[in-house]
Amino acid sequence: MARQKGIIKLKGTIGDITFYKTQDGHLAREKGGIDASRIASDPAFQRTRENGSEFGRAGKAGKILRTALRPLLLNSADGRMVSRLTQTMVKVIQADAVSERGLRNVIDGEVELVLGFEFNIRGKLGTSLFAPFTSAIDRAAGTLDVSIPSFVPANMIAAPSGTTHFKVISGGA
């Protein structure tokens, strides 16, 4: 991917080169690729179709999880959280040893791979809260229990200077 330098920053397409802006700066790329109808029907692209199908399922699974946790994510998610979550869901799907390639899914994969996922990469729980805690989910009862024993906040919380209050919010899906 080419980076744009200079005083004039372009957006749009000139010929086969597309200019665009991301959080990484102004970039440019050349148009390329194979016709979609060929990918959809050519036997040489069977693996591509399988990968695309599983990637689509991973994206949908991530969307379902994000929707379930939406009230908790409104003020905490970073700009690349969706892509990181989709990447994790792809790993979950790839761990499915029951289904055939291209038909693998999250339910038969190892959902435990999502444990510890950081929804806000700039505010990780492990670098903010040093107090020990335990969590347990009882699916039958539909409860989530998080236990944090008493602790001294000055020693166990890394907060910005001047912080006077904090709260711990938990959620499960």
What is the helix (H) or strand (E) element at residue 47, kind and residue range?
A: helix 46-68
Strand partners, 147: 134
Instruction: Say what percent of the chain tops pLDDT 70.
Output: 99
pLDDT at 76: 75
Provide the pLDDT confidence category of residue 9 given band limits of 50, 70 and 90. Answer: confident
Please state the rounded mean pLDDT for residues 71-79. 82
pLDDT at 106: 94
Backbone angles phi, psi at 138, to 5 degrees: -110, 100
pLDDT at 4: 74
**Distance of alpha carbon 83 from alpha carbon 52, whole angstroms:** 15
Would the pTM count as exceeding 0.85? no
Q: Side chain identity at 42, as an amino acid letter?
A: D
pLDDT at 1: 67
Where along the chain do its domains lie?
Answer: 1-32, 43-122, 124-167
DSSP assignment of 103-156, as one string?
T--STTS-GGGGTT--S-TTS-GGGTB-S--EEEEETTTTEEEEE-----HHHH
Please state the rounded mean pLDDT for residues 127-132. 90
Handedness of CA 96, 91, 121, 154 (dihedral sign): positive
Identify which has the larger pLDDT, 89 or 34.
Answer: 89
pLDDT at 101: 93
Report which of 125, 66, 61, 142 is spatially closest to residue 96, judged by C-alpha positions: 61
**Distance of alpha carbon 153 from alpha carbon 165, whole angstroms:** 10
Identify which has the larger pLDDT, 93 or 9.
Answer: 93
